[in-house]
Homo-oligomer: A and B are copies of this chain.
Amino acid sequence: MAATMPRADETATKAAIKALALELGEDNVLVSPEQLQEYRDPYDYKGSDEYTGSAVVTPRSVEDVQTIVRLANEFRVPLWTFSTGRNFTYGGPAPRVRGSIQVSCREMNRVLEVDDELAYAVVEPGVRFFDLYDHLRAGGYRLWPSIPDLGWGSIIGNTLDSGRGYTPYGDHPTTQCGLEVVLANGEILRTGMGGMSTSKSWHLFRESYGPNHSGLFFQSNFGIVTKMGVWLMRAPEVYVSGWATWRDEGATAAVIDTLRELMFEGVIRNNPLVGYGVPTENGRDPSAGGWMVRFAFYGRESLVEAQYQVASDALTATAGVELGRRTYRGDDERSAATMHDDKVQGGVPGLELIEMFKARNGEDAGHLDLSSIGPLSGADVAETIRFRRELYDRHGLPYSAGIVLLPRTALHISALIFDTNDEQQTRGAYDTYAEMVVELAQAGYPVYRTNIQHMDLVAEQFDWGDHAQMRLNERLKDLLDPNGILSPGKQGIWPQAMRPPRA
C-alpha cells in the first residue's frame, strides 16, 4: 500500500512552513526530526517513517486556525488536524499523507464555560478528560463528565470519532451539543441554535432550524472543530459500581438478553461492559476463562437500592451468575475511587489500562483494536464471539473481548498485540487486521472506526448503492474543500487530486 500512497509536495510544503512560522511565530511550528518523533503513529513499526509529517503547527486561537487554513490553501499543502492525538490504536496524531503539516490543537485547551444549573460545559479541542474533570472538581460544580478508558484524550476528539463512555452520558455523539467549525475556506460555522447571535440555546438544543450540520464533522475532513458543548451529568447522591461474573460461556447469551431488557426498562442507564480474558479487579481469573460484566446505578439511595435489587434478581435467574458491588456516597468518596471499573463508571479519568497494557506486553508494544457493531441480542453476541474466536484461532492468536452494550448494539472490541520494534510482527498484525475487517463485513459486522492504515479498506466495505455514501462524501469534499487541504484520506475520503480510481 505504501508505494502508491500520495505524498505532500516538498517544495510547496517548505514554503508553507516558512509562511506559517512568520505568521504564527517559530515557537508554534516544530520542524526538527527529534521534535516530530512524538507525532508519528505510536503503533506503526518503529523503523518506518511512512506516517510522519513535515511540521507540527500549534494554533492558539480560532484566528490561528483560520490563518493555517488560509496558508494551506495558498500553498496547496495537506494539513492533518488532531485534538490531542492520544488515541494510539487509531494512529494517534499521525497523518495519512507523508509530509503533511500536522495541526496540533493541544494548546487550544480552555474550558470556556460551565453551567452548573443546566449541566453543560463548552470546551476547546485541546481539553482532555483529565482537564474537564479537574476543572469541575476545582470549581465545586455538581457535575460529572463521561469519560472513556483513558483520561488523556480530547473530549472533542473522542466525541467526533463517535467514542463512548460508561456513565448514563456515555453516548458521546448524543451528549455533544453545538459545534463551532472552521471550514476549509476559512469561514466559521456555528451549528444548531448557535446560528442565531442572540440565542441562549446553542449548547442546550441539538437540532437546527433547517438541516442539522453537526454530523458532517464527525469522522470527517470537512472542517476543523474549534468549540463544542458537552452535556454533563448531575452528581448523584449515591453511585453503585456493580458487576456480575459467570464461568460457563453458555450463560453469556442469557446474561446479554437480561441486560438489554434492564437497559430498555431504564433500570441500568449506563453502558455495561462485558469482558472475557481482560484485566479486571472484579472478575474471574481471565486465564481460567471467566466472564464478567460491569454496570452501575446512580441517584437517590432509595431508587438505586430498588434498581440494584431488580437487576440482581434478573441476572441471578441465570444459573451460575454471581453479583458484586461497591457503593460510593457523595462526590468526594467517588473521586477517591482507585479501581479502574469504579473510576471509569464514575467519570473519574485515569491511565490504568495503558499502564496495565505496558506492564503485560512491554513498553514498546502496540495494539490494533478491531471495533465492530452488531445487534444487542444474546444469540447474535454468542455467534459473534464464536466467529471472532475462530478468526483468532486461525491466526494462532489468543482471543479476549470487551463488549460495550449500547442501547441496541453490541460494540465488540478485541485487540491484536505486537512489538513495534519487530517489523515482521507489526506488519503481520496489520495484515491480519485487514483480513478480519473483510471477514467481519462479510458476516454483517461493520467496523465503525479504524486506524489510519485501514481507513480505505474499511470504507470499501460500505458498498451499498455502488458505494453511495462515499460518492456523496466525495461530492461534499469537492464542494467544501476543493484544494483538498483538510486531512486527506481521513476515513477514506480523498480530495479529487489524490483520489484513487474506483474499481
Contact = CB atoms under 8 A, between A and B. Distances in A.
B459 A210 contact: yes
Interface stretch (A49-57, A117-125, A385-393): A117-125
Contact of A118 (B191, B201, B303, B408): B408
A349 to B, nearest CB: 22
Interface string A293-322: 000001110110011011000000000000
Given A187-B465, A188-B468, A299 B211 contact: no
A127 interface: no
Interface string A461-497: 1111100111111011001100000000001110000
A56 to B, nearest CB: 25
Given A204-B409, A210-B491, A300 B265 contact: yes
Given A264-B234, A269-B266, A408-B119, A212 B216 contact: yes
Interface string A378-406: 00100000000000000000000000001
Interface string A424-463: 0000000000000000011111111110000000110111
Interface string A186-209: 011111011111111100111111
A407 B190 contact: no
A303 B300 CA distance: 12
Contacts of A198: 441-444
A213 interface: yes
A73 interface: no
A469 B219 contact: no
A325 to B, nearest CB: 18
Interface residues of A, number: 101
A436 B480 CA distance: 36
B462 A196 contact: yes
A376 interface: yes
Interface of A: 117-120, 162, 168, 173-174, 177, 183, 187-191, 193-201, 204-220, 222, 231, 233-234, 236, 261, 264-267, 269, 298-300, 302-303, 306-307, 309-310, 373-377, 380, 406-409, 441-450, 458-459, 461-465, 468-473, 475-476, 479-480, 491-493
Q: Which 6 residue pairs of A and B lie closest in terms of their CB atoms, listed nearest first?
A: A212-B215, A195-B462, A210-B491, A195-B469, A234-B264, A204-B408
Given A118-B408, A210-B469, 10 more contacts: A117-B377, A118-B377, A177-B408, A189-B472, A195-B463, A200-B445, A209-B448, A211-B220, A475-B479, A479-B479
